[in-house]
Structure formats: structure tokens, C-alpha cells
Chains A and B, each alone.
Chain A
Amino acid sequence: MLWSLLLLFALTLLLPLIPYAVAYVNPDAGGVPNPGSELWREVRHANVGTTQVQGVDSGVLISEYGERWRQYRMQQLAPWGAMVLGAMVGIFIVYYLVRGKIRIEDGRSGKRVRRYTTTEMTVHWILASTFVLLALSGLILLYGRWLLIPLLGASGFSVTATVCKLLHNYVGLLFAAIVPIAFFLYLKDSLFNLKVDGRWFMRAGGYFGGEEPSSEKVNAGQKMWYWVAMLGGFVLITSGLLLDFTNLFQQGREWLMGAHVVHTIASIGVIAFFIVHLYLATVGVEGALESMVNGHVDANWARQHHDLWYQELQAGQDSTVPKEGLKAGGTHAGGVASPLVKD
């Protein structure tokens, strides 16, 4: 009984090895492999054949890249993008509830100082409006199928999506024109000053407690936003032009899918930073928005948030800058009496 069981066990292990043994002794015994199998394996990797049909990518019989792009768009971009943007909005709701609006500590002085020129404001708002239009239309095209079709119906959303597509494709060109202008216009103020900005970053700008570190006309966070927006903008413009002008050099699907992946990752990144900027410039910091609305800020706001810039203004020739503000600020956190200035 035991022997028969052992024999059975041994046979179970050994019998499946027979074909390997046969193949080892006589490699040709397995028959000739189907040459077609090799051919179709190659075809799956987008081998280009010949065809009488004239068109972009017509010679490609089967392309696997589309499936990879589908996985990217449906299983990575859509859910992860929503999580990133949702988390950013969530963080600022919580931040607002915990920290509240960052006030002008000494109250308004009633004296205003010039912060931005008319050109700077105009370029800012052209950039801002084109960016918001592009971001919204892009997000609607990405998420509308889930969010808006239940509300508007398929036909209704089709109209919305058509408008969004047209807006995105035409306003994109305006965005492409304004970003280089913005780049050179704000470049001077946005170059990092390692000493001041390094310290600002170490203290996280004082947003999470501690006194607000010194900053120049533009603080380190704003400089970072400038670089994210500008470099992200160039990536968005380059990839966007490839997608917008498909007849540029008759780029095929692989180019378009690659451009789409780059475009969407960059856009989620820039929109995430934009949420930070939007919050801090409007509800987050009292007295910040008016700098871009009428070009002026309150002297106390300038002293509190951009002390080094304010000192520069006081040292300058502009007679409208109150000279006595310097003394008043000495006793307050975030005022000019920071250790860095004493250096």
C-alpha cells in the first residue's frame, strides 16, 4: 500500500518532465514553431507596414500605446488628480478654520504705498484669466463625464464640452503669448536670495506658527509660485501646442499621447500651486488682494509681510512712503526688527 502510494507520488512528479527530456535529447522533436507567431508578436509593437490609405499612422496595424494611455488617463490621472486637487482645497479649508485670516497686526495705517505698476497688474490679470479659463475647461473635459453628464444629460454636456474644447484650444494660444511676457516682467523680483529666502523656507513662512520671517518685495513662497507657474507654463505651452496643432508636423498618436501625459501632469501640478496662491491672495491674507487691484498696499501690510522691501522704499526717494513707520514696527513680530536685518 505504502509503496504504491510512493510510486504514484514519484510518477506524479516525474511524468510531466518527459517532454523536457525529449526536447533535451532531440531539440527538433517539438515540431516547427509557427512563423506567424513571431510576426504577430512584432506587429503588436507597432511595426510600421505599408498601406494604400493616406493618413496619420495608417501604416500601423496594431499599437499597444493606446491601452497604456487609457490606463494612465482613467486609472491614474483622473483619480490621482482629483485626490491632489481635493487635498489642496481640503488643506486650505482646515487651515482657514484653524488659523483664520492673517490680519494686518497693527491695523491699517491709512497710508498706502505703491506695490505694482499698471503693466504688472494688466499682465497679471490677463495671465490669471487665461489660466483660470484653461484650468476650468480642462478640468471639465476631464471630469465632466462623471460630474456633469448626470446633471446636464449627454446632449447638454456635449454642448458644454464643445465650448470648453474651443475655449481651451483658442485661449491656449493667448496663454502661450502672455507667459513669456510675464516671465521677463516678474523675473527681477523673483530671483532667489539664498540668505533671506532660505531662512523663509526654514520657517515655512511663519504660516505654521513662529514669527514671520523677513522677505523682499516678493517672499520665497511667491518666488516659488513664480517658478512653478512659469516653468510649468512653458511645459504646458510646448505640450499644448503639439496637441492643439496636430497638423504642425503631422505628429502621430505616440507624440500626442506623450504630450497629453506631460500636459496633464504639469497642469495638475500648476493648478495645485494655484490653489495656494488663490487662497493666500484672497481670503488668506488681509490686504493682499488690493495690491493687484489698485496697485497699492497699506504701509503696515508692507512692513509686516515684506519688511526688507519696505525698508528699501523708505530709503528711496518716493516721498509718499511714510518714514516714521520704521519705529512703529519695531515692537511687533514680523516687523523690521528681525535678527537678519541686524546683521
Chain B
Amino acid sequence: MARMKFLCDAERCIECNACVTACKNENEVPWGVNRRRVVTINDGSPAERSMSVACMHCSDAPCAAVCPVDCFYFTDDGVVLHDKDICIGCGYCFYACPFGAPQFPKNEAFGSRGKMDKCTFCAGGPLPDNSPEEFAEYGSNRLAEGKLPLCAEMCATRALLAGDGDTVSEIFRERVTWRGASGFAWGWGVAYNKPGIRRGYAVEDKATGGD
């Protein structure tokens, strides 16, 4: 049995937000809810990196651990799903999740948030596969059709990988082997052959003067 995983290759992500758009369109998620987002760290500096992030489908999922009504469950593929008919919208999963994956359609007075919504790895929910009810509540169920999540399928630079953990890590391992793991591949110093500014961002920042 496969163990489904997402992996975002930060050396490749160009922050085009196609994954975000693809997800929103495919699953027709409510206004205000984004199951996936792209976060850019050190925006504008030589150390800039972007990462597409959504539910990472943890094995020891903090959301499932803290849920007061126990509405989470794990599929045979290791996908973390939840039952919206049981969810009470308390927001505890949002506190516990390190990735900020759980989203709520509302943020109103008296703790009114609505039912939690998050990435399903395009695997729907507890309702019958590909039924209109399932689509309305949880969005697309591509996994049941033998397809992978659309965000990863759409990724133009193949930065976002989705699929069985073994396959995904094999692809990534191969990439790392070819481009080298110690950071030589990236940056101004490499492009202009300035060996002195290869080591780390601190040196690089000084040498380039934030260029």
C-alpha cells in the first residue's frame, strides 16, 4: 500500500501560485478558504526561497490528536481526512497544526468559525466516492479515479511532488544528487564565479550588498 506524501522542492518553486489556483478551482472551496498557499521566505534577498504548503498528512497528526470530537481519520494511503458532519469548528486543529493547514470559512464573534476545511490530498471525505454530496463538502476525489492531487500535477517546474513517499523521495534524491546538496547550485556567487561568496547567506549578503 502506498503512503501518500507531498514534497515541495524549494530550489524549484518560483511562487507562481498555480498550485493554489488549481486547488481552489478543482475543489471549489468556499470563499476565504485556501487549502494550499505559497509562502516566500526572505523575499527579495539572495536567500529567497518559496514553498507551497498545505496539509502534510502527518503520520502522528497533531490535528487528530487534539480534536475534541475525534473527527479525523486516516485512509489506507496515509491521507488524513476529517468528517465535517462531526466537526464542531472549535479551531483546536488550527492551533496544533505546524503548517497552518486547517482553514475555516468564518472568523466571527462568539467563536463562530464554521466547519474546518483542509487539503484532502484530492481524496474527498467519508461520503461515497465522487458523489455530489462528497464534492459539495470535501471537493474532488481524484485519488478514487487513480489520479494524483491536481496542485502537483499542475506544477510547471515540478517543484511540488505528490504521490507514494518512496517514489517522491526517489525523485528528490536523484535531483539532489545531480545538482549537489551543499548549496553551490544557487546564487549570485555561483553565477558570476566569485568563490569567496559561496559560503552561506551571511557572507553572500555582505558581498553582494543586498544586490
Contacts and interface: CB of A to CB of B under 8 A. Distances in A.
Contacts of A256: 91, 95
Interface residues on B, range: 35 or more
A39 B42 contact: yes
A62 B110 CA distance: 28
Interface majority SS (helix, strand, loop, mixed), chain B:
loop
Interface in A45-68: 47, 49-53, 55-64, 66-67
Contacts of A209: none
B108 interface: yes
Nearest to A245: B109
B73 to A, nearest CB: 10
User: Which secondary structure dominates chain A's binding surface?
Assistant: helix
Given A74-B65, A165-B111, A69 B96 contact: yes
Given A145-B68, A162-B88, A165-B90, A243 B39 contact: no
Given A33-B182, A38-B201, A53 B96 contact: no
B153 interface: no
Contact of A149 (B41, B70, B201): B70
Contacts of B99: 61-62
Nearest to B43: A50
A26 interface: no
Contacts, number: 158
A70 B85 contact: no
A250 B107 CA distance: 9
Given A32-B199, A35-B47, A253-B95, 13 more contacts: A36-B183, A49-B41, A52-B20, A66-B97, A74-B65, A144-B69, A145-B70, A157-B69, A161-B69, A161-B88, A245-B111, A250-B107, A253-B94
22 contacts: A32-B199, A33-B182, A33-B200, A35-B186, A36-B10, A52-B20, A56-B107, A58-B34, A61-B51, A63-B98, A64-B98, A66-B97, A69-B95, A70-B65, A74-B65, A144-B69, A145-B69, A158-B87, A161-B88, A246-B111, A247-B108, A260-B95
Interface of A: 31-36, 38-39, 42-43, 47, 49-53, 55-64, 66-67, 69-70, 73-74, 141-142, 144-145, 149, 154-155, 157-158, 161-162, 165-166, 169-170, 173, 243-247, 250, 253, 256-257, 260
